Amino acid sequence: MAAALPIATASCSASVAVRPAPQLPPPCGLRRTCTHSNAPSTSKYCGSVGAQEGGRSHGVHSPLAHSAQRRLRGGLLVSQAGAAGGMGGHGGGLGEPVDNWPKRILVGLAVGYIALVVLVPFFNVFIQAFAKGIVPFLEHCLDPDFLHALKMTLLLAFVTVPLNTVFGTVAAINLTRNEFPGKVFLMSLLDLPFSISPVVTGLMLTLLYGRTGWFAALLRETGISVVFAFTGMALATMFVTLPFVVRELIPILDNMDLSQEEAARTLGANDWQVFWNVTLPNIRWGLLYGVILCNARAMGEFGAVSVISGNIIGKTQTLTLFVESAYKEYNTEAAFAAAVLLSLLALATLFIKDKVEQAAAAESRK
């Protein structure tokens, strides 16, 4: 049964029925207020939940209006990203209770699978690392080769994450705000690092920048070393982490209402002011989420870096390469010590990611 909902507009008051799957309301000539900013909206469509009566439509300002808003783009009905920048919906839904045996069996299988594949190996790393006590663990952590590998890992993240953050932001804005030939193909190329093996990536870079590569003569003239050097490691890491930021921002920018940016330009703001004061606040949570994923991938990269770096101890070795090298040399305590540090970095990443999602969810509920 449809629920009766009173609606007050500028000229009338009516009681209408709200359907479970509301359709996009027709254009309304009444002046209305944006549900997010309390400022006059430039959109020709009324509020976020459409209520129809006799061919007319007016907005209903419900709590859902703060997290999603219906609008039209290219003939498709999509949801607008709210103040949380498209995030905040993770884990916030109401699920059905597990009240029968089939559901309990499925949940048990899922928990058991996760425990077997993720939790048991994860905790085993800590058990093996501290099997002989904390003193040997600290000795391995203070080893010069270990410290150099940690330094290289942090340097790679420090270089690649800001560069891919800037590239991802600029690329996402230009791809969503413009239409041009080859746009679909270009967006498909952004997923190339996901589909190519990291080992193949390292081999491609080695063939391009090696002694017999396409750019070998230019590199010799300029004295720049790429293969078996930090430069090549940075290039490989940038390649494998390229999609994370841009792929987080494209859906948010696609669903974002452009009326606020148009209003800012109407008031005389330039492109930088529009980005800093209007666009960035709307995408900040998605941007931060992409940065977290990009950083996690950069610190954990192995295949591409292994090929192009040569895994030279004390020179081009990262923590992931140190784990492999120490384990192959039967120095398992050092390998597990490095693995513990990588695991702690992963836990810190998960903690920050969870806090970002909680902050985004809290903001989207306001």
> Which domain CATH number covers 224?
1.10.3720.10
The pTM for the full model equals 0.70
Q: How confident is residue 108, by pLDDT bands cut at 50, 70 and 90?
A: very high
Query: Is the distance from CB of 295 to CB of 156 less than 8 angstroms?
Result: no
Among 50-59, 300-309, 332-341, the least confident range: 50-59
- How many Å apart are CA 204 and CA 206, to the nearest integer? 5
> What is the rounded average pLDDT of the residues 275-300?
91
What's the pLDDT at 83?
43
Domain identity same for 258 and 338:
yes
Q: What is the pLDDT of residues 180-221, one digit of tens each?
A: 898 889 988 998 999 899 999 999 999 999 888 888 888 888
Specify whether 160 is located in the same domain as 36: no
Domain of 35 in residue numbering reads as 3-79
- Residues 62 and 146 grouped into a single domain: no
Q: 347: closest CA among 304, 284, 288, 300? A: 300
Query: Looking at the structure, do residues 240 and 174 belong to the same domain, yes or no?
Result: yes
Query: Domains in the chain: how many in total?
Result: 2
Looking at the fold, whether 173 and 286 belong to one and the same domain comes out as yes
Rounded CA separation 309/226 (Å): 9
pLDDT at 49: 38
Based on the fold, state whether residues 206 and 295 are members of the same structural domain: yes
Could you say which of 79, 108, 143 is where a domain stops?
79
Tokens of 202: 């390292």
Residue 66 shares a structural domain with residue 146: no
Task: Please tell me the predicted confidence (pLDDT) of residue 224.
Answer: 87
Same domain, yes or no: 358 and 268 = yes
Q: How far apart are the first and last CA of the chain?
A: 29
pLDDT range class, residue 156, cuts 50, 70, 90: very high
**Which of 59-68, 125-134, 167-176, 260-269 has the lowest average pLDDT?**
59-68
Do 65 and 148 reside in the same domain of the chain? Answer: no
For residues 212 and 302, membership in a common domain is answered with yes
The rounded percent of the chain whose pLDDT value lies above 90 is: 40
Domain end, chosen from 33, 50, 79, is at 79
More confident residue, 85 or 154: 154
Contacts (Cβ under 8 Å, ≥6 apart) of 215: 208, 209, 226
Which helix (H) or strand (E) element contains residue 59? Answer: strand 56-60
C-alpha–C-alpha distance, residues 214 and 60, integer Å: 62
Mean pLDDT for all residues in the chain = 78
Alpha-carbon distance of 334 to 322, in angstroms, equals 9
Q: Which of 33, 60, 79 is the endpoint of a domain?
A: 79
Secondary structure (3-state) at 339: helix
Is the pLDDT at 252 greater than 50? The verdict is yes
For residue 56, the model assigns a pLDDT of 38
Q: d(Cα 272, Cα 170) in Å, to the nearest integer?
A: 12
Has residue 108 been placed in a domain?
A: no
Q: Which of 68, 92, 94 is nearest to 251 (CA)?
A: 68
pLDDT computed for residue 93 by the predictor: 53
10 Å CB burial of residue 117 (0-12, 13-18, 19+) is exposed
Question: Within this chain, do residues 223 and 328 fall inside the same structural domain, yes or no?
Answer: yes
Q: Are residues 241 and 333 in the same domain?
A: yes
Predicted confidence (pLDDT) at residue 10 exceeds the cutoff of 70: no
Segment 133-142 long-range contacts (CB within 8 Å, at least 24 positions apart) = 136/333, 137/333, 137/337, 137/340, 140/333, 140/334, 140/337, 140/338, 141/337, 141/341
Range of lowest pLDDT (45-54, 285-294, 299-308):
45-54
Distance between CA atoms of residues 67 and 359, nearest Å: 13
